[in-house]
Amino acid sequence: MKALLLSSYMNLEMADVPTPAIGSDEVLIRVEACGICGSDVHGFDGASGRRIPPIVMGHEAAGTIAAVGSDVTFWKAGDRVTFDSTVYCGHCAYCLKGQVNLCDNRQVVGVSCVDYRRHGAFAEFVSVPERILYRLPEELPFEEAAMIEAVSVALHAVRVSEFKAGETALVLGAGMIGTLVVQSLRVAGASQIFVADPDASRLEGAVRSGATTTIHLAEGKPDAPAVVMEKVPGGIDHVFEAVGIGATVKAAVQATRKGGTITLVGNIASMVELPLQLVVTREIRLQGTAASAGEYPRAIELLASKQIDVTPLISDVQPLSKGAEAFDRLYKKEPNLIKIVLTPDAVETA
């Protein structure tokens, strides 16, 4: 089969690779759409250490089942499906508690690191265990279905924050995940949603997604904590840090009310400084969030009903053969480019 192979760092090429074999509990999926995740872009140059070549990346995917293993009875060829990016074992202590994102034997589709290598969905076919499959409604296009994984991440962040309807929220970072957190908060019944970002165009998108107040982080303008404290004396109930650098973590602490919660979603920097005294004396809860754990059905429901709309976030759709160029555009931070979805190349007919 054809696949977009990261043969070495900064080098993506269309290559002929073996079609994945499937085990008795696995299915083979014909990939119809696969989104380029920010983590793929960070892995492209070796920065993350989690895309060690050679590897076929891609975990935000949807398609149709092409074949099923001998023990698979619930699924059949032709079913429209997506799958969790996390391949969990299903039997460790965390899996048995429903915390599949913390599985002791966790792997991620399209990731290669020191511990494992699992080829992903920037290819004609991908194989996954049936336990991570989810059925897609007919009315949900494959390109939008490729965004389910990202939506599930946002929904999980809101869930683990223990956010309650009527509370206030601040989202730091209006990239794709930040904007999806905004939509998730709107669905959850937030009374006010503040969003801060240095990119004015992204803030416009956040307003369309449900933000009530935007904060343009530009030179000479008030910072996020100052704006928040002026409009919500005492601070915000919940802050979602969707960047992952020291400056925004510090701003999150400064903007949170006493007894409030900061949910850490972004993780660009491996280490950040923390205003420890403010966290301790204001009794602020710091909550980490990783991937998702059971949010896929809700994500599918919200996308199919258009309660969450991902179409404005899909900047471009390109054939798999143009994948290297798509990565280059994202890596170079082309303006107004958020998400590129790769789809199969058109089949020429005589």
Give me the domains of the chain, ranges plus CATH numbers.
2-147+310-343 (3.90.180.10), 154-288 (3.40.50.720)
Name which residue leads in pLDDT, 57 or 349: 57
Report the pLDDT value the prediction gives residue 294, as an integer from 0 to 100: 95
| Cβ partners under 8 Å of residue 262, min gap 6 | 238, 239, 240, 241, 249, 252, 253, 256, 284, 285, 286, 287
Nearest 5°: the CA angle 116, 121, 124 is 130
Q: Could you read off the pLDDT of 229-288 as tens digits, one per residue?
A: 999 999 999 999 999 999 999 999 999 999 999 999 998 888 999 999 999 999 999 999
Report the pLDDT value the prediction gives residue 348, as an integer from 0 to 100: 46
Residue 291, pLDDT > 60, answer yes
Instruction: Provide the 10 A C-beta neighbour count for residue 271.
Output: 6
Q: What distance in Å separates the CA atoms of residue 199 and residue 76, rounded to the nearest whole number? A: 45
| Cβ partners under 8 Å of residue 115, min gap 6 | none
Please tell me what DSSP assigns to residue 123: B
Nearest to 29 by CA among 106, 121, 118: 121
Residue 349, pLDDT > 80, answer no
When pLDDT is averaged across residues 317-327 and rounded to a whole number, the result is 97
The SS3 of residue 73 is coil
Q: What distance in Å separates the CA atoms of residue 343 and residue 350, rounded to the nearest whole number? A: 22
The SS3 of residue 196 is strand
When pLDDT is averaged across residues 287-310 and rounded to a whole number, the result is 97
Residue-averaged pLDDT of the chain: 95
Choice among 62-76, 184-198, 258-272 with the minimum mean pLDDT: 258-272
Q: What distance in Å separates the CA atoms of residue 83 and residue 323, rounded to the nearest whole number? A: 21
Q: What distance in Å separates the CA atoms of residue 240 and residue 276, rounded to the nearest whole number? A: 18
- The Cα-based distances of 323 to 13, 334, 344 in angstroms read 8, 15, 11
Nearest to 208 by CA among 189, 191, 195: 195
Cβ-defined contacts of 302-305 (< 8 Å, 24+): 302/151, 302/155, 302/187, 303/140, 303/144, 303/145, 303/147, 303/148, 303/151, 304/137, 304/139, 304/140
| Cβ partners under 8 Å of residue 13, min gap 6 | 4, 5, 7, 324
Report the pLDDT value the prediction gives residue 347, as an integer from 0 to 100: 53
| Burial class (CB within 10 angstroms; exposed 0-12, middle 13-18, buried 19+) of 316 | middle
Report the pLDDT value the prediction gives residue 131, as an integer from 0 to 100: 97
Report the pLDDT value the prediction gives residue 222, as an integer from 0 to 100: 87
pTM score of the predicted model: 0.94
Q: Could you read off the pLDDT of 88-111 as tens digits, one per residue?
A: 999 999 999 999 999 999 999 999
When pLDDT is averaged across residues 112-133 and rounded to a whole number, the result is 96
When pLDDT is averaged across residues 157-175 and rounded to a whole number, the result is 97
Phi, psi for 346 (deg, rounded to 5): -65, 140
When pLDDT is averaged across residues 171-197 and rounded to a whole number, the result is 97
Confidence bin at 10 (pLDDT 50/70/90): very high
